[in-house]
Structure 1
């Protein structure tokens, strides 16, 4: 049984990852800005008030404590603004957050 961390898990693909992981007997930790009723009903660990667009890594690391994460599913959200500036900002945030999570994950493994 592996432990998965799924970002933006309150709905859509992120929620579905959590639902299926739980059904397979794996442990899923959902990270999201605000949990949906459906996500809460799964009965898995949910870390709310976290937006991957913000500097969330230190806060999440503190919340997770000694919890070992074997797999990160860095699910991305939809674009909030469909302008060139909005899309550029979202892509930049997603890439930076992915690299930051990866870097911090490596540090905790070593």
Structure 2
């Protein structure tokens, strides 16, 4: 079964994608800043504390994944721009 990594997986579209892939029997890794109760209830493997716009967090994610192979990456994390 494929391994699917989903950023922004703690709510919204990312959480729905986690549900869908889990229902298909795929291995799902949820990547986000903070896990929500809904994400935890799904039983998704969570890598938390990750802000994909921060290079240090990306390095932390790389270390957390180690040599694990990812078949599909869904980069769903949103970045909100600052208003000036």
Q: Scaled by the length of structure 1, what TM-score is found?
A: 0.69
Q: Scaled by the length of structure 2, what TM-score is found?
A: 0.89
Gaps of 5+ in 1: 86-110
Which structure has more RCO (C-alpha within 8 Å, separation ≥ 6)?
2
Deviation sequence 1:42-87 (CA, Å, 0-9, x none): 1120001111121122111111112110110000326264x2x5xx
2:67, 2:79 → 1: CA distance? 31
Higher helix share: 1
Higher strand share: 2
Provide the aligned length of Structure 1 versus Structure 2: 83
RMSD: 1.5
Gaps of 5+ in 2: none
